[in-house]
Amino acid sequence: MSDAMTEGGEGTGNRTAVTEAEVDALVQGICFKTGPPRTLGVELEWLVHERDRPQHPVTPGRLRAAYAAVRAVPLGSALTVEPGGQLELSSPPAASLMECVDTVSADLAAVRAVLAEDGLVLVGLGHDPFRLPERFLHEPRYDAMEVCLDRAGPAGRHMMRASASVQVCVDAGHEEPGPLGLGRRWWLAHQLGAVLVAAFANSPLMGRLPTGWLSTRQLMWMEIGADRAGAPALHEEPRSAWARHVLDSPVMCVRADGGPWEVPERLTFREWTRAHRPRPPTRADLDYHLTTLFPPVRPRGHLELRMIDAQPGEDGWIVPLAVTAALFDDPQAAETAYRCVKPLAERAFNLPAPHNPLWTDAARRGLADPELREAAAVCFAAALDALPRLGATAEVTDAVAGYLERYVARGRCPADDLLDASPAARLAPAGSGPAAPGRKDTPS
């Protein structure tokens, strides 16, 4: 999906300072673009491993050469590289589910063919089970990000270097109320998000040992903290809540045209607009600040759902894309999902995602949680009913039906397969494993 606000270059851009009131108005006007849901997108992050020796790290030199070869191939999706060397494909906005699936499938086939020539493969896992890779990208943005996130503990390094996801992008929805209205979709994304975490959890291992969490990737996001990776309060109107969150979130860095970027401590964007130190913030700084906030649902004109672990198999990503598209863009399925997850919201205790008990249970237990399992079963059934109305092929609906039978109906997720196959998991008592970064409730 095209971004509502650009990533921004390394320069400071427009030198005109923005005021607190201007920031509030800009965020409210740009981060939610309403209208009938018409487009869909997906952003796929992949770990890149040696085909024959996945436990061995891929050297930076080999990665650079492989990515240079991939960039020479024409793709419909945008190709980027994450700080730990993960590869990401971001689809263009698609007018239908099948247009999105076809574009990304063709791009992935082309990328895999190039990587295969060098003995490399794309791997769908939410967190690297073998290692914390060295940082592959050494740029001012990531230098500053690492310094900033290290203040909260090691979870930030895991997020940057070792995690991968399926991020589904849906339109913000109608201005008017109803199943496809902005307010309903914003609320639904944060409550259904816990069900998606549980149903698609796929990162139970770290250092080859169980962490005690089925989605260790989601745990990493929780550990980064609410000010950087949390959602705003849901009891407010979405635009006002997000604008306040943006203003009250800490600035990750103050960019400079030359030399290292400053990484202030506990300087919110609101405070920056008032103090004008270390220099006055500009519109370009606001645009950049928005790219340094990582809530589970990020408004970028559209809604970017960021909570789904990368999925196993070449086409495993299609199931979460199809299910999410159906539950958001088909009015009947959206209404069913809303009614289904409404009782789950009580378990969040009005605390923003993902820092609430509902999301914690989803990441730790997956569909072993009876209420999450029941909600997932209802939502998958609603999605299956809706997919033909969205033009899905039999291949896509069969994939969703197969996932429902193999995992959801049995209270399982892909993480359970990994644990079943792990000798360490079979020998270890439940909940044992390496200490997750910053956690005191998992053994060291």
306-326 per-position pLDDT tens digit:
999 999 999 999 999 999 999
**Tokens for 351?**
């605390």
DSSP element (H, E) containing 80? strand 78-81
**Tokens for 251?**
């600035």
pLDDT (tens digit per residue) in 136-181: 999 999 999 999 999 999 999 999 999 999 999 999 999 999 999 9
Query: CA 131, CA 138: separation in Å to the nearest integer?
Result: 19
Q: What is the mean pLDDT of residues 391-409?
A: 98
pLDDT at 201 over 60: yes
Q: Note whether 49 and 58 are within 8 A (CB).
A: yes
- Furthest-apart CA atoms within the chain: distance in Å: 61
pLDDT at 199 over 50: yes
- In angstroms, what CA-CA distances link 142 with 190, 252, 258, 272? 28, 10, 15, 21
pLDDT at 12: 44
Q: What is the mean pLDDT of residues 261-269?
A: 96
Other beta carbons within 10 Å of 8? 19
Query: CA 295, CA 224: separation in Å to the nearest integer?
Result: 11
pLDDT at 443: 31
Q: What is the mean pLDDT of residues 28-49?
A: 97
